[in-house]
Amino acid sequence: MDFSSIRLITFDCYGTLIDWETGMLAALRPLFARGGKVSDRQLLEHYGEIEAELEAGPYLAYRQVLSQTAQEMGRRLGVKISEDDGRSFANSLTTWQPFPDTVTALQSLARRFRLGIISNIDDDLFAETRKKLEVEFTLIVTAQKVQSYKPALRNFQEALERSGLKRLEILHAGQSLYHDILPANLLGIRNVWVNRPSIRPGAGAAKPAEAQPTLQVSSLAELAEMLKR
């Protein structure tokens, strides 16, 4: 792949830069332990399906999406999850940490490219996460700003318009085939599938999908090294 035209790299945040699988499981396990043995894989499968269902409906703040997802998971798995439990799960997002390679890779990429974020998140929640990433983002498109959730094309179109760049000057990197690679392909935006190791290979905590990325890597460190060369 020829990267010479790339001026801006946009990133999905949670699952790509932030280890949401570890973070959400740490918050969900104690809640679902009340109902007996529920495996981590079951938790991620239900989370991915229910979150996608809620995001496809009328716009809700992401805090509500997280809270309602946890409560609906409880209903489907036969475990009582209260509204307070749902709010606690939503608030846990501010404690989720970057992957070990994230900050160093972002800092390396920032020496050559503008960096941006296209994330299914509320502004105040991302403000807390942003402190952990230790780089400047010249473009930030949140679900709250556009009142829709990826894989909606609107989120990517907003990024295109605000960037002032041509499609060939943008590279989008994301962990989710469903949320990131599918819509990027539809808009003709070159993309990188950051296919990190997961309990659910190829999907993680996202809804499974099939899509052909422009490029595939297993970590952000691999992408940074490739672009450095």
- Min mean pLDDT across 36-40, 131-135, 176-180, 210-214 is at 36-40
Of the chain, the percentage scoring pLDDT greater than 70 comes to 100
Instruction: Please state the pTM of the whole predicted model.
Output: 0.95
Q: How much is the pLDDT for 212? A: 98
Closest CA to 42 of 26, 57, 25: 25
pLDDT band at 1 (very low <50, low <70, confident <90, very high): confident
Q: Domain boundaries in the chain?
A: 8-19+96-228, 20-95
Contact 44, 26 (CB under 8 A): no
Q: Is the pLDDT of residue 189 over 90?
A: yes
DSSP per position, 173-210: EES-IIIIIHHHHHTT-EEEEE----SSTTTTTSPP--
C-alpha span between 140 and 118 (Å, rounded): 6
| Spatial distance between the Cα atoms of 175 and 14, rounded to a whole number of angstroms | 8
**Mean pLDDT of the chain, nearest integer:** 96
Which candidate in 12, 19, 122, 180 is catalytic? 12
Q: What single DSSP character describes residue 10?
A: E
Confidence grade of residue 36 (pLDDT, cut at 50, 70, 90)? confident
If we measure between CA atoms, which residue out of 130, 135, 139, 140 comes closest to residue 111? 135
Q: What is the pLDDT at residue 9?
A: 98
12 is catalytic: yes
Q: Tell me the C-alpha distance between 28 and 92, whole Å.
A: 10
Confidence of residue 37 (pLDDT cuts 50, 70, 90): confident
Domain 8-19+96-228 has CATH 3.40.50.1000: yes
Q: What is the pLDDT of residue 17?
A: 98
User: With respect to CATH, is domain 20-95 assigned 3.10.129.10?
Assistant: no
Give the Cα separation of 191 and 173 in Å (integer). 6
